[in-house]
Chain A
């Protein structure tokens, strides 16, 4: 192992839990979680069905929902304006309900690149995009993206030119952000569904741009 690789591993070890096998129960807290679930079900506080339904609901919410919102904003100027003015109202037009939090849509432009973080925890528009990716919850991302956003974006392969302003938005439990990425060049003829396929999860967090269309 090279010295550089060794250092990399070491840094990871200090900020993430060490890699652990999925197949066996390996921590006290896993046992505790199983115990809590069993006790709550036996006491009738929640049912096994309640828990299963919540897991299914989480699994059913994917970034494709947000991608539909972005594609509509790209093609419908009146919707785009409503989205930027009142995102909760605009996404509900497409059948997406934000159950608890205020949603704020922010638009990337030629002169401004926006990126979202929750420095204190992991607040994320779960009701629209599903659960956040693991790196969004990591200490490294939360600590550094507000300090050196361009360097962090570069780690995602996103290089923002110096003349473009970078704004970092720190989420709270009550306010969560959706980045509307720039519409890629060469997409004039595409319909909403084709456009939505270009809108990735990472582009709606702001660590990446929307994908280029296949030519």
Chain B
């Protein structure tokens, strides 16, 4: 069975040939990924393998840099750089902060 990333030769719709510039958030993730790469913590191959391991549902639902974020999270936990507990706690904190400052899309206030 093909992995979710293995799409070469499959059918699909028209290509959206418009080039959409990266958002602020996407640039942040690209920069963060490059920074952990530059210190040798996570390399390109590990990132790619972790993205491919997301499974069909997550891979096909998430946007490109959302996949990178999910992969980076997994790798940082696997390598002992961060723990799931501290990530969960920080996510809750960031969510509260963004809700308070009005930067959160409505409906995102709770998990």
Contact = CB atoms under 8 A, between A and B. Distances in A.
A205 B24 CA distance: 25
The bracket for how many chain B residues form the interface is 35 or more
B15 A135 contact: yes
Interface residues of A, number: 64
A143 B23 CA distance: 25
Given A29-B70, A36-B82, A11 B48 contact: no
A55 B30 contact: yes
A86 interface: no
Given A28-B111, A45-B39, A143-B11, A51 B32 contact: yes
A163 interface: no
A138 B10 CA distance: 13
A144 B9 CA distance: 6
Nearest to B3: A120
A170 interface: yes
A59 B34 CA distance: 13
Nearest to B81: A45
Nearest to B87: A35
> DSSP majority for the A interface?
helix
Contact of B32 (A15, A33, A121): A33
Interface in B3-50: 5-20, 22-25, 27-32, 34-36, 38-39, 41, 44-45, 48
Contacts of A152: 15
Contacts of B9: 119, 143, 146-147
Contacts of A45: 36, 39, 41, 81
Contact of B19 (A8, A36, A121, A135): A135
Contacts of B28: 33-34, 37, 51, 55
A39 B87 contact: yes
A22 to B, nearest CB: 5
Interface in A42-100: 43, 45-46, 50-55, 57-59, 100
A21 B9 CA distance: 32
Given A25-B103, A135-B19, A34 B35 contact: no
Contact of A29 (B15, B69, B81): B69
A24 B32 contact: no
A155 interface: yes
A207 B35 CA distance: 31
The 3 closest A-B pairs by CB, nearest first: A119-B8, A11-B13, A133-B19
Interface of A: 8, 11-12, 14-17, 21-22, 24-40, 43, 45-46, 50-55, 57-59, 100, 117, 119-122, 131, 133-135, 137-144, 146-147, 152, 155-156, 170, 173, 207
Interface of B: 5-20, 22-25, 27-32, 34-36, 38-39, 41, 44-45, 48, 51-52, 62-66, 69-70, 72-73, 76, 81-82, 86-87, 90-91, 93-95, 98, 103-105, 108, 111
Given A120-B5, A144-B15, 19 more contacts: A12-B16, A14-B13, A25-B108, A36-B72, A37-B32, A46-B32, A46-B39, A50-B35, A54-B31, A57-B34, A58-B30, A119-B7, A120-B8, A121-B51, A134-B16, A134-B20, A135-B19, A143-B11, A155-B17
